[in-house]
Chain A
Amino acid sequence: MTTEPVLAAVDDDAAPLTHHQLRELYTLMAAVRHLDTSAVAWQRQGIIPAYAPELGQEAAQVGSGYAVDRTRDFVFPTYREMGVARAMGLDMVGYMSTHKATWHGGMYNPLESRFAPIQAVVAGSVLHAVGWAHGQTLAGQPTGEMGVAMTYFGDGASSQGDVHEAMNFAAVMKAPVVFFIQNNGWAISVPTERQVAGGSVAARAAGYGIPSLQVDGNDVVAVFEATRSAFAHCRAGNGPVVIEAMTYRRGPHSTADDPGRYRTLNEERLDAGEDPLERFKQRLLAEAIADEAFFAEAQRLAEEEEETIRRGIEDLGPRPGAEMFGLVFQEPTPALQSQATAWREESEHV
């Protein structure tokens, strides 16, 4: 469903995805699926203290992340964008370290990764995307080549006032921002119908004069194409776009959550729709783009990758306590330095 106003630069003539790209998308989704379900197991095994699964959102995350140009765009994630991170080629030990409780924002380099630190405040980084995007305008990026900010948030976060402020600012300033909403049906225990008046976040965009797309978030190709269109629109200097990817959070909100308290297994089966990974597999088979040997290989690669990442996570020791003090400021205050000295003397007995 597209609501007025429409995208000014839809990439209708953009080349369709090649078979190679389609297979690459599947490989990414398989890797994300396996890492995600493994991370839940890691938590149960005591390897990590907590995790926020994205099971069921692989198409929405991989499809959108695959459209990012890492030479000029910048992504602003929440705490449930592992699939985007993987699709963008992040250092995944660095990414998953946030769930090991090593460092809140993750251990990857956000500037080199073009992926902002993991954000625990719901809708906290939506405005940052607007500021970063306006910076591209101020820097005088030539039209057609502008860097684009893509900010992720969910149906729950869409209730935050910052989302309104961000959309309004972006529209007023014609900032190159893609607002990417994963409407996964649930904000912990609260369903979308108790969260989003009118039933659609995308529908709000019209009020800001922002073009919007509501896409099947479980169709990785549809998500990719929508995101690519949005990026083309932004790059051409036409201002922001809203994408609402309709998907389903198949797992719990986090490993500490118990969905049995607010939805039955039967409801989950009925509401979740088709599994995005299985659905894509059937399509690739039907179109003879991939065969069973390919899927087996994708699974083998996913398992190999998970093992490497798990070993990296297990090997991560705690950060030196001195970093608590050293990373607060670029120019530390005398009071903080004396606290660091006292801590060292009293904790390390030096």
Chain B
Amino acid sequence: MSETITAMPGTTDVSAASVHQMSMQQALNRALDEVLADNPKTVIFGEDCGRLGGVFRITDGLQAKHGEDRVFDTPLAESGILGMSVGLAMAGFHPIPEVQFDGFAYPAINQIVCQIARMNYRSRGTLPMPITLRVPSFGGIRAPEHHGESLEALFAHVPGLKVVSPSNPHDAYHLLKYAATRPDPVIFMEPKSRYWQKGPVNLSSAATEVSANDDGTAPSGSLTGARVAREGRHVTLVAWGAMVSRCLQVAELAAEDGIDIEVLDLRWLKPIDAEALARSVGKTRRAVVVHEAPLTSGLGAEVAQLITQSCFATLKAPVERVTGFDVPYPSGDLEDEYIPNIDRILFGIQRVLEYRRG
């Protein structure tokens, strides 16, 4: 269970009573619990979401507390889960469906792309789709095939969808509560390798506009945009999901060599906070995008273009990308070779620092 801790030095708008140390799994569970309590039209469903509480226990205890009409198991069919969400939304409900693992979104892609993303448009705004699709995402847990995929570029490319990924328990709690009260469909990508890491969560609703950093210091950034996870002067690392904590590790190591790294946690992958990118890279003049998804046509390309657009005149080097490879996501034994590791991120930083024109 979460334990109350005292406010940390340097934080603002943090009353001791409302800051709790909890894992992302606990933070997400708490957010869902509160959303169910706040809005009687909210329904949570998917494979094993009910009695079991989900394979990651994100919906643990919610059926017992809120009833089988609010939190329920569906047959094992993702297209059915997402297609049903459309009809429930048309009937005035606010569905929060879960696909159990990222790779299982593929069987539902027709309902996500052709139906959920388009119904508001097709119906000329009369049938909004307030659907929050929770997708345990990304790799890092030595899982079977199709359990470690990064689908953000696919989703972000689809008109009508919004995409968000929290990197820490505090953001997970507030971003899920925020997404679940929006009138548009949001793909909520949970970094499954970070489910069990604890961090401070300020449960105060006043904390929705700010976000405590991983060390509890220097809150920054509106919940609807990116977040400066670490301030620095020399290079900006742009990341989301599980890669944020890895980039923070890299920043600590680079600091030993006198390199001052800024880490920008993008959070929203659609819409991307272009102003935050411009602000950060306008200052550092060098950027490396880090993501787990394959390189080609990955979201890093979009980020690089946005940075080029706003910072071309002052950039010291082309934007670098440190990403997964253009290969099917490998088995656990090769996972560490695939996911950007500390060395590869440091090499990327070195390339932008040592770049010379001509």
Contact = CB atoms under 8 A, between A and B. Distances in A.
Interface residues of A, number: 44
A128 B271 contact: no
A74 B119 CA distance: 16
B322 to A, nearest CB: 25
Contacts of B91: 74, 131-132, 135-136, 139
B183 A128 contact: no
B126 A109 contact: yes
Given A138-B69, A329-B160, A105 B122 contact: yes
Contacts of A172: 75
B123 A121 contact: no
Interface string B100-124: 0000000000110011000111111
Contacts of A240: none
Interface in A93-144: 103-105, 107, 109-111, 116-117, 121, 124-136, 138-139
Interface stretch (A159-167, A297-305, A308-316): A159-167
Contacts of B328: none
Given A138-B43, A166-B83, A333-B271, A111 B88 contact: no
A340 to B, nearest CB: 13
Nearest to B45: A134
A127 B74 contact: no
Interface residues of B, number: 44
Contacts of B85: 131
Contacts of A350: none
B346 interface: no
B231 interface: no
A134 B87 contact: yes
Given A117-B119, A124-B114, A335-B272, A129 B77 contact: no
A172 B76 CA distance: 12
Given A124-B114, A161-B79, A333-B271, A107 B87 contact: no
A1 interface: no
Interface-central residue, B85, B127, B182, by most chain A CB under 10 Å: B127
Given A128-B86, A334-B271, A169 B74 contact: yes
Interface in B57-109: 69, 74-75, 77, 79-80, 82-93, 95
Contacts of B69: 138
Contacts of B121: 105, 327-328
B87 A127 contact: yes
A162 B112 CA distance: 13
A136 B88 CA distance: 9
B90 A132 contact: yes
Contact of A133 (B82, B87, B114): B87
A237 B85 CA distance: 21
A330 interface: yes
Given A105-B122, A131-B85, A166 B92 contact: no
A126 B184 CA distance: 22
A165 B79 contact: yes
B128 interface: yes
Contact of A132 (B82, B87, B120): B87
A165 B77 contact: yes
A5 to B, nearest CB: 19
Contacts of B115: 121, 124-125, 128
Contacts of B184: 329-331
Contacts of B110: 121, 124, 162
Given A127-B86, A131-B83, A134-B88, 17 more contacts: A74-B91, A105-B123, A107-B124, A116-B127, A117-B119, A117-B127, A127-B87, A128-B83, A131-B91, A138-B69, A166-B83, A169-B75, A328-B121, A328-B160, A329-B162, A330-B120, A330-B125
16 contacts: A103-B124, A111-B127, A127-B84, A127-B86, A128-B90, A130-B84, A131-B86, A131-B91, A132-B88, A133-B87, A138-B93, A139-B91, A161-B79, A327-B121, A329-B160, A335-B274
8 shortest interchain CB distances as A-B pairs: A131-B87, A127-B83, A135-B91, A105-B122, A131-B84, A165-B80, A132-B87, A333-B271
Interface of A: 74, 103-105, 107, 109-111, 116-117, 121, 124-136, 138-139, 149, 161-162, 165-166, 168-169, 172, 323, 327-331, 333-336
